[in-house]
Amino acid sequence: MLKVSVLYPNREDTRFKMTYYLDHHIPLVRRLLGSKLKSVSVEQGISAIWRASFAAYVGMGHLGFDSVEDFSPASGFR
C-alpha cells in the first residue's frame, strides 16, 4: 500500500478550517480520485510536547492507494 501525506504547517498566520477541510475538501478529493483512492484519514495538530509550544502542523491528510501506479494517473504524475 502507498500512503500519500499532505502536511499543513502551523505558522503564526496560518488559517486552517478543519470543518471546511472535512466537509468540502475531502469529499472533492474522493470524487476526483475515484475508486483508486482506498483510504483517507485526517489528523489535527493540537500541541507539541511542551505546553507553551505549538504543533508543527495544523492538519494532516493521508491518502491510501494500492500502488504507485494507482496514485500516479489519479494525480497527473507520470
For residue range 1-49, list pLDDT tens digits in order. 999 999 999 988 889 999 999 999 999 999 988 999 999 999 998 876 7
Q: Please state at what angle helix 68-75 crosses helix 26-33, rounded to 10 degrees.
A: 100
pLDDT at residue 17 in the model: 94
Angle, CA 19 vertex, CA 37 and CA 14 arms, to 5°: 100
What pLDDT shows up at residue 66?
93
- pLDDT value of residue 73: 66
User: What secondary structure does DSSP assign to 57-68, as a single string?
Assistant: EEEEEEEEES-H
- Residue 66: other Cβ atoms inside 10 A: 12
Domain chopping of the chain, boundaries: 2-75
CATH architecture of 2-75: 2-Layer Sandwich (3.30)
Section 45-55 average pLDDT: 75
